[in-house]
Chains A and B, each alone.
Chain A
Amino acid sequence: MKNYSIVPVVIATVFILGSCTKDPVKNLSSAETRLYITNHDSTANFSSFKTFSISDSVAIISNNHLRDKTHDSYDSLTIAAVISGMTQRGYTQVSNEQSPDLGINVNNIINTYTGYVDYGSYYSDYYGYWDPYYWGYPGLGYYGSYIGTYQVNEGVISIDMFDLKDAASTGKIKSVWNGVIRGEGIFQNANVNSNVQALFDQSAYIKAN
């Protein structure tokens, strides 16, 4: 009597055993899930800027629309961490009415769909998130250098730095630096300082002197 009926059972068993693969995501700590992405205008001379101003609230941008501007404890910590990072690099914080050389906005981007988001549209809507009037340049448009395309269905912290010093002469508010934080635990207060510091650490070219 032939017992070939065992063959599919055995093959199935092998594949079940074979499916015991190491799951790369489950094998990450919370900190290891995080990405720190920075990009800058390679033509910008960061030592030509001496002062900066930072918006006092965080824009909540959902699917390329401004939903809210908030100023909770998380937002305060994030803004303070950026101020600290800039100050350590030799920049002086001034108010938005004191003609800062650099303007900094902090954004919490929440995209609730999966797909590729072209950050070109992020920048084309930017005046809607942050009115250039705030920086003293009504009528000028924001000019994004790039961020690229990311697959997003999650919350992202995006910090944008703009050249205000040359805005009047060039007729545009040009992005000179962008930092993005993605991953688990990025909205926890305890992680704010290390996350913002990571962006500065990998952007050694940001220095006033």
Chain B
Amino acid sequence: MLLSAGVFAQDEGVTLKLNYSVAVPTGSFKNDVINNTSYRGFGAELMYHFDNKFSLGLETGSQDFYQKYPRQLYKTTDGSDISTVLSNSIQAVPILVKGQYNFLSEKAVRPYVALAAGGNIITYSQYAGEFSNDGKTKFGFAVRPEAGVYIPFRKYSRAGVSVGAGYNYMPFNYGGIDNLNNITARVGISFPLGN
């Protein structure tokens, strides 16, 4: 009886998870805007665990996308020709509600599926040489299905590491761009807050 009460206390509660993430642009985002993989992504998740399977919480962070194109001649709408090195720079700051479900919740390695939805604060800047357009900051809808594995440090612990991958669906209509969709891979370390 005492033992089961102890297990219960470990399963329920709040966990903070810190992520490092890599993002690979896909589709028109990759073809038209940025095809470099972003290795500059960080995030944090604050999750409430209802039991050892289901948790719900909030996620935020930042992912930085950047691409410099070699010098090229561009024709502008007013008829002039501009030879320039064009750079695109995009920062996405997600504010998402996330739900996660762990399978095999007694095992050392626990597969999980998760769904995060909400929005991104997106800052988009384009540079012609050293000259920036004014940049644009927009809030855009975002949803991310995700799957991975969670490996607790101890059997009855909410502290552990997780490795996962997901697809960031991010519509973004601005300046000829229609989405910033990307595949993300992430590693995280989580630890319980409180007792």
Contact present for A38 and B131 (CB under 8 Å): no
List, in ascending order, chain A residues with CB within 8 A of B40's CB.
18, 20-22
Contact of B193 with A by CB under 8 A: yes
8 A Cβ contacts from B88-130 to A: 89, 91, 93, 125, 127-130
Categorize the interface residue count of chain B: 35 or more
Contact present for A42 and B79 (CB under 8 Å): yes
List, in ascending order, chain A residues with CB within 8 A of B85's CB.
28, 32-33
Contact present for B64 and A2 (CB under 8 Å): no
Contact of A85 with B by CB under 8 A: no
List, in ascending order, chain A residues with CB within 8 A of B87's CB.
24, 27-28
Contact of B168 with A by CB under 8 A: no
CA distance A4 to B60 in the complex (A): 17
Contact present for B42 and A17 (CB under 8 Å): yes
List, in ascending order, chain A residues with CB within 8 A of B43's CB.
14
Please, which residue of chain A has its CB at the minimum distance from the CB of B63? Answer: A18
List, in ascending order, chain B residues with CB within 8 A of A27's CB.
66, 68, 87
From the candidates A7, A33, A39, A198, name the one contacting B80 in the complex (CB within 8 A).
Answer: A39
Q: How many A-B residue pairs have CB under 8 A?
A: 117
Least CB distance from B41 to A in Å reads 8
CB-defined interface of A34-69 with B at 8 Å, one 1/0 digit per residue?
A: 111111001000000000000000000000000000
Tally of A interface residues using CB under 8 Å: 39
Most B C-beta atoms less than 10 A away, residue of A24, A183, A202: A24
Given contacts A3-B193, A4-B193, contact A21 B64 (CB under 8 A): yes
From the candidates A3, A15, A38, name the one contacting B62 in the complex (CB within 8 A).
Answer: A15
What residues of chain B have their CB less than 8 Å away from a CB belonging to chain A? Answer: 14, 16, 18, 40-44, 46, 60-64, 66, 68, 71, 73, 76, 78-85, 87, 89, 91, 93, 125, 127-132, 193-195
From the candidates B61, B82, B91, B93, name the one contacting A37 in the complex (CB within 8 A).
Answer: B82
Contact present for B62 and A6 (CB under 8 Å): no
From the candidates B16, B68, B128, name the one contacting A10 in the complex (CB within 8 A).
Answer: B16
Given contacts A6-B16, A10-B44, A35-B128, contact A20 B84 (CB under 8 A): no
CA distance A92 to B125 in the complex (A): 45
Given contacts A2-B193, A35-B83, contact A21 B89 (CB under 8 A): yes
Please, which residue of chain A has its CB at the minimum distance from the CB of B128? Answer: A35
Please, which residue of chain B has its CB at the minimum distance from the CB of A152? Answer: B131
Please, which residue of chain B has its CB at the minimum distance from the CB of A32? Answer: B85
List, in ascending order, chain A residues with CB within 8 A of B42's CB.
14, 17-18
In the assembled complex, 12 residue pairs joining A and B whose CB atoms fall closer than 8 Å, in A order, are A2-B193, A2-B194, A10-B18, A14-B18, A17-B42, A18-B63, A24-B87, A25-B130, A28-B129, A33-B85, A36-B83, A39-B81
Contact present for A24 and B89 (CB under 8 Å): yes
Least CB distance from B121 to A in Å reads 11
* Closest 8 pairs (CB-CB, A-B): A18-B62, A33-B130, A24-B87, A39-B80, A22-B66, A2-B194, A36-B83, A21-B64
Given contacts A14-B62, A25-B127, 13 further A-B contacts (CB under 8 A): A1-B194, A4-B14, A10-B16, A17-B42, A18-B42, A20-B40, A21-B91, A22-B64, A28-B68, A32-B68, A33-B129, A37-B80, A38-B80
